[in-house]
Amino acid sequence: MKKIMFASLFATTAFVGFAHAENDMSCGDVPKEKWMTEDQMKEKATGMGFDVRQVKVENGCFEVYGIKDGKKIEALFNPETGEQVGED
């Protein structure tokens, strides 16, 4: 019985942690008229040390593809604030 309760608790905790992690990478539901331009996002990312190769929009976030610290990186940014919200 203890094993079943422990397994259930573990599975619930893991799911909640996963759901929370996905929410951390959310860019919100910001109206497009409040977004910075792609050029502004590129400039901000460059100032953060990225050698920007491409900026795309995906799932309400800016995705910045480039090189940082010698490594290829795909970083996610809030389109209104330019705050980095995650990496792939």
pLDDT in tens, 36-67: 999 999 999 999 999 999 999 998 999 999 99
Work out the average pLDDT over 76-81: 95
Q: Is the pTM of this model over 0.95?
A: no
- Side chain identity at residue 48, one-letter code: M
Residue 71: is its pLDDT beyond 60? Answer: yes
46 and 10 in contact (C-beta within 8 Å)? Answer: no
In angstroms, rounded to a whole number, what is the distance separating the alpha carbons of residues 30 and 48? 23
